[in-house]
Amino acid sequence: MELVCPAGNLPALKKAVDEGADAVYFGFQNATNARQFIGLNFTDKRANEGIEYAQSRGCKVFCAINTYPQPNGWREWTAAVDQAASLGVDALILADMGLLDYAAQTHPDLSRHLSVQGSATSHAALRFYQQQFGIKRAVLPRVLSISQVEDLARQSPVELEVFAFGSLCIMAEGRCYLSSYLTDESPNTRGACSPAKAVRWLETDQGLEARLNGVLIDRFQAGEKAGYPTLCKGRFAVGDETYHALEEPVSLSTLDLLPKLKALGISAVKIEGRQRSPAYVAQVTRVWRQAVDAAGAAEPDSVRMQAWAAQLSQLSEGSLTTLGAYHRKWK
Amino acid sequence: MQLSLGPLLYYWPAEQVDAFYQQAAEWPVEVVHLGETVCSRRRELKLDDWERIGKHLVASGKQVVLSTQALIESEADLKQLRRLLDLAAEQGWQVEANDQSALYYLTEAELPFTTGPSLNIYNLRTLSNLSALGLQRWCLPVELSRETLADLQQGIAEQQLDLETEVFAYGHLPLAWSSRCFTARYHDLPKDRCGFVCQQYAAGLPMRTQESRDVFVLNGIQTLSGACCNLLDQLPLMRRHGVQVVRLSPQAEGMAAVVSQFDRMRSGELPLGQEIPLHAQQDCNGYWFGRPGMDRVNPLMD
């Protein structure tokens, strides 16, 4: 089972490699990838250096080009595919059917992974992508329960990669347009959800307000921890109640499920967080390296498990983790 | 230019659904999308009921299209999907594919199909690929603008693709799908014992900011836009861009008036600027103008 870690920049990439990632994934400095953050991602030169660093140490490199090009951006996206191919990455992570087709025709020997943004939630959908575009692997959306993942693992025609740790998307990825409804950017169009350029913090008599393009996402009282206003994690009013109507600000952690995922034959576990610091990537990779290695053991080591869970918890949003949709009770 | 009714997104009692399509049979719409696209737990209408409603609509001169569930999560969902495709094949009705699972079965069976707005078609290469697989008509994803539409229409013409284009022009926009049911969450019920509480909300459950601004509408596992999309005054532009079908999404109130206005607008009987407000609530058209979806752009100022 591969451990796939985020590389938002070169220092993070090196940390992930040093701490034992089997693969790292990165994107270019434009809207072609789903983590377009200011100051993040790779130039050609940096990518070259990172790929050299990783591959010479036995670590694979995947390139995420997983947003949806429109006609006026088509050439920028195909250029990113060509660039990744010429840099010698081990696989492309793609979502758009047109771009998958372009990659399959233009670079047939370069592995194609279906991004989580491709929204494949059934073995039939996986078969469609495999037959039409020859995908080798698919990253599953975070909306599936463990029993659904189990069904898929049994019938999937391709390798499966699942999210193990990091931010939790509660909507089926690739088909969530909430961000572009409130701002002019979405993960699909610009690789951004609740973009920082649209965020305003305001101290008011009613508390600290977090607004996204003017829309009040949450209001924090003194002593409350104020998290980034990702729009689906704010407090809203439904009926007479004001609460986290969509989701609490928590992170996903599937540490407890790891032995099960391994037994199901899941090919890779993925750590989310290209936007996080190199220090974060180092810590998370270190813990998960140990956990993945230990997952095959006959006797689970509950003491070590607890220690890992505690370390991960400290690194999580609001210091809270959840099994998310993997666990039925979440729903 | 044709008018279509999109699939019913809300969970209404069977009698209300029947009554709605009885009326729709008399409305000046050419295409009607039928079927449950949101949640597999909604079984108020069985496949037989959809068949009966479809037959009545066909007898009234409508083209019937069966729409597939947007978020497929289980083997049971796939089974239901295959039954829907069987019914379509039996009746010679078209199928609207709303995810790649549907595309898989349709292409395996070499059946022609259409696509709904939740199938991500953002560029010409995707269109030409799907066209080769049997795509007959596609619906522009809700977050795309008139500029992208114009580019795609030009590409379709240049490549001589035999495709009809549809635009979502009226109704609360479907913006997201989750495995979590937000209506059940509001009622503090687990999803698999939800008690079908979404049936209490014929127009969905409004979700507002802490300063009472409508932001989204909760509709079970689906999240809709808080404002109602209304592109009535954009019909002349759509016509110029060669849009063949204009989609109106069923709402609980006032749908007959909505259809009537769109019908008058397409036939040029409704002078621009003369349209009557269709909805008591706030409406939006931002996506069409390349702005945040919630915005209301005054086309005369644009």
Q: Where are the domains of chain B?
A: 2-172+229-278
Integer Rg of chain B from CA: 18
Write out chain A residues lying below 8 Å of B205, CB-based. 238-239
- Domain final position from A208, A225, A243: A243
Find the domain containing A124 and state its range.
2-168+250-330
Check CB contact under 8 Å for A151 and B294. Answer: no
Instruction: Write down the CATH superfamily of domain B2-172+229-278.
Output: Aldolase class I (3.20.20.70)
- Residue A173 within a domain: no
Of B70, B74, B122, which has the smallest distance from its Cβ to A69's Cβ? B122
- Reported as a single tens digit per residue, the pLDDT across A280-313 is 999 999 999 999 999 877 677 788 888 888 888 8
- Residue A26 within a domain: yes
A256 versus A155: which is more confidently predicted? A155
Backbone φ/ψ region at A80: left (φ over 0), alpha (ψ -120 to 50), beta = alpha
Whether residues A24 and A124 fall in one domain: yes
Residue A306 belongs to a domain with what CATH number? 3.20.20.70
Flag whether A169 is marked binding. yes
Residue A261's SS3 state is helix
pLDDT at B243: 98
pLDDT at A227: 86
Q: A202: distance to nearest CA of chain B, Å?
A: 14
Q: How confident is the model at residue A315 (pLDDT cuts 50, 70, 90)?
A: confident
CB pairs < 8 Å spanning A and B: 216
Whether residues A223 and A279 fall in one domain: no
pLDDT at A33 over 70: yes
Mean pLDDT of chain A: 92
- Reported as a single tens digit per residue, the pLDDT across B171-185 is 999 999 998 999 999
Flag whether B198 is marked binding. yes
- Domain final position from A183, A211, A243: A243
**Spatial separation of the C-alpha atoms in residues A27 and B8, rounded to whole Å:** 39
Write out chain B residues lying below 8 Å of A123, CB-based. 78
- By C-alpha distance, the chain A residue nearest B153 is A71
Amino acid found at B76: A
Mean pLDDT, to the nearest integer, of B286-290? 97
Check CB contact under 8 Å for B99 and A125. Answer: yes
pLDDT at A328 over 70: no
Check CB contact under 8 Å for A246 and B179. Answer: no
Give the Cα-Cα-Cα angle A197, A199, A205 (nearest 5 degrees): 150
pLDDT at B272: 64
- Residue A180 within a domain: no
Quickly tell me which residue has 């600290």 as its tokens: A208
**Spatial separation of the C-alpha atoms in residues B151 and B156, rounded to whole Å:** 9
Q: Total structural domains in chain A?
A: 2
Least confident stretch, A109-113, A251-255, B131-135, B250-254: A251-255
Whether residues A68 and A205 fall in one domain: no
Q: How confident is the model at residue B281 (pLDDT cuts 50, 70, 90)?
A: low
Q: How confident is the model at residue A314 (pLDDT cuts 50, 70, 90)?
A: confident
- Domain final position from A243, A273, A303: A243
Query: Contact, A17 vs A54, CB < 8 A?
Result: yes
- By C-alpha distance, the chain B residue nearest A176 is B176
Mean pLDDT, to the nearest integer, of B91-104? 98
Whether residues A205 and A129 fall in one domain: no
Check CB contact under 8 Å for B73 and A144. Answer: yes
pLDDT at A168 over 90: no
Contacts 24+ apart (CB under 8 A), A103-107: A103/A133, A104/A133, A104/A134, A106/A78, A106/A81, A106/A82, A107/A81, A107/A82
Of B75, B81, B223, which has the smallest distance from its Cβ to A178's Cβ? B223
- Reported as a single tens digit per residue, the pLDDT across A91-131 is 999 999 999 999 999 999 999 999 999 999 999 999 999 99
In chain A the beta strands, taken as DSSP E runs, fall at 2-6, 23-26, 60-65, 91-94, 111-114, 137-139, 159-167, 199-204, 207-212, 215-220, 236-238, 241-243, 251-253, 268-271, 321-322
pLDDT at A266 over 60: yes
List the beta bridge partners of residue A165.
A253, A271
pLDDT at B278 over 60: no
Flag whether B194 is marked binding. yes
Quickly tell me which residue has 């990632």 as its tokens: A21
Nearest to B275 by CA among B170, B190, B193: B170
Which of A122, A133, A163, A194 best probes binding to B when mutated, by most B CB atoms within 10 angstroms? Answer: A122
pLDDT at A158: 98
Flag whether B181 is marked binding. yes
Mean pLDDT, to the nearest integer, of A15-30? 96
- Residue A176 within a domain: no
Write out chain A residues lying below 8 Å of B191, CB-based. 331
> What ipTM, to 2 d.p.?
0.96
Q: In 10 A of CB B155, how many CB atoms?
A: 17
Phi, psi of B66, rounded to the nearest 5 degrees: -95, 125
Amino acid found at A90: D
pLDDT at A36 over 90: no
pLDDT at B280 over 60: no
Check CB contact of A45 with chain B, cutoff 8 Å.
no
pLDDT at A311: 85
- Reported as a single tens digit per residue, the pLDDT across B24-68 is 999 999 999 999 999 999 999 999 999 999 999 999 999 999 999
Least confident stretch, A252-261, B51-60, B119-128: A252-261
pLDDT at A86: 97
Integer Rg of chain A from CA: 19
Share of chain A above pLDDT 90, in %: 75
- Reported as a single tens digit per residue, the pLDDT across A37-59 is 878 899 999 999 999 999 999 99
**Spatial separation of the C-alpha atoms in residues A217 and B213, rounded to whole Å:** 11
Whether residues A159 and A294 fall in one domain: yes
Mean pLDDT, to the nearest integer, of A73-89? 97
- Residue A185 within a domain: no
pLDDT at B122: 98
Whether residues A86 and A220 fall in one domain: no
- Residue A181 within a domain: no
Whether residues A157 and A199 fall in one domain: no
**Spatial separation of the C-alpha atoms in residues A256 and B285, rounded to whole Å:** 45
Which of A75, A77, A97 best probes binding to B when mutated, by most B CB atoms within 10 angstroms? Answer: A97
